[in-house]
Amino acid sequence: MSDARLTGHRALEIGRTISSLRAKFVSNDRFDELAEQFDLLLYRRRADLEAGRQSEARGIVLTGNPGSGKSTAINRLFSRHVDLSVLSMDREQADIVSFQVPSPATLKFVGQSCLRGLGYPLSRDRPANVIWQLVQHHLKQRRTLFMHLDEAQDLSPHRGTNEVQSVVNTLKSIMQNSEWPVGIILTGTGSLRALVNHDPQLSRRLLPIEFRPICWSSHGDSVKGVIRGYSRSASLMCSDEVLKPELIKRLIHSGSEELGLVIELVISALEEALIREQSEITLDAFAQAFKRRSGCVDALNPFIAEDWRAMDARLLFQREVKAPVDSPFDTWERA
Whether 3 maps to a domain, the answer reads: no
Three-state DSSP class for 247?
A: helix
Q: Answer whether 198's CB lies under 8 Å from 168's CB.
A: yes
Q: Which residue has the higher pLDDT, 162 or 4?
A: 162
Q: Answer whether 196's CB lies under 8 Å from 206's CB.
A: yes
Whether 263 maps to a domain, the answer reads: yes
Whether 26 maps to a domain, the answer reads: no
pLDDT in tens, 220-265: 999 999 999 999 999 999 999 999 999 999 999 999 999 999 999 9
Whether 187 maps to a domain, the answer reads: yes
Q: What CATH number does the domain containing 258 carry? A: 1.10.8.60
- Given a cut of 70, whether residue 292 has pLDDT beyond it is yes
Q: Answer whether 119's CB lies under 8 Å from 136's CB.
A: no
Beta bridge partners of 63: 188, 210
Whether 114 maps to a domain, the answer reads: yes
- Residues 177 and 66 placed together within one structural domain of the fold: yes
- Residues 73 and 207 placed together within one structural domain of the fold: yes
pLDDT in tens, 83-114: 999 998 778 899 999 999 988 789 999 999 99
pLDDT in tens, 42-83: 999 999 999 998 889 999 999 999 999 999 999 999 999 989
Q: Answer whether 196's CB lies under 8 Å from 202's CB.
A: yes
- Residues 329 and 190 placed together within one structural domain of the fold: no
- Residues 157 and 244 placed together within one structural domain of the fold: no
- Residues 163 and 61 placed together within one structural domain of the fold: yes
Give the C-alpha separation, 272 to 281, whole Å: 8
Give the C-alpha separation, 96 to 78, whole Å: 8
- Residues 184 and 198 placed together within one structural domain of the fold: yes
Give DSSP secondary structure letters for 126-171. Answer: --HHHHHHHHHHHHHHTT--EEEEETGGGGSTT--HHHHHHHHHHH
- Residues 137 and 167 placed together within one structural domain of the fold: yes
| Residue 69 falls in which region: left (phi positive, over 0), alpha (psi -120 to 50) or beta | left
- Residues 63 and 203 placed together within one structural domain of the fold: yes
- Residues 206 and 295 placed together within one structural domain of the fold: no
- Give Dmax over CA atoms of the chain in angstroms: 79
Domain boundary among 185, 211, 237: 211
Domain boundary among 183, 211, 239: 211
Q: What percent of the chain has pLDDT over 90?
A: 80
> Structural domain tally of the chain?
2
Give the C-alpha separation, 173 to 199, whole Å: 13
Amino acid at 163: E
What is the pTM (predicted TM-score) of this model?
Answer: 0.89
pLDDT given for residue 159 in this prediction: 66
pLDDT-derived band at 4 (thresholds 50, 70, 90) equals low
pLDDT-derived band at 7 (thresholds 50, 70, 90) equals confident
Beta bridge partners of 184: 147
Domain assignment of residue 180, given as a range: 54-211
pLDDT given for residue 249 in this prediction: 97
Give the C-alpha separation, 19 to 13, whole Å: 10
pLDDT given for residue 158 in this prediction: 66
- Residues 149 and 131 placed together within one structural domain of the fold: yes
Whether 30 maps to a domain, the answer reads: no
pLDDT-derived band at 198 (thresholds 50, 70, 90) equals very high
- Residues 222 and 182 placed together within one structural domain of the fold: no
Domain boundary among 154, 180, 211: 211
pLDDT-derived band at 330 (thresholds 50, 70, 90) equals very low
Is the bond leading into 104 cis (omega within 30 degrees of zero)? yes
Tell me the angle at which helices 259-275 and 245-254 cross, rounded to the nearest 10 degrees: 110
Whether 98 maps to a domain, the answer reads: yes
Give the C-alpha separation, 127 to 135, whole Å: 13
Three-state DSSP class for 212?
A: coil
Q: What CATH number does the domain containing 64 carry? A: 3.40.50.300
- Residues 89 and 169 placed together within one structural domain of the fold: yes
Whether 32 maps to a domain, the answer reads: no
- Given a cut of 70, whether residue 328 has pLDDT beyond it is no
DSSP at 241:
G
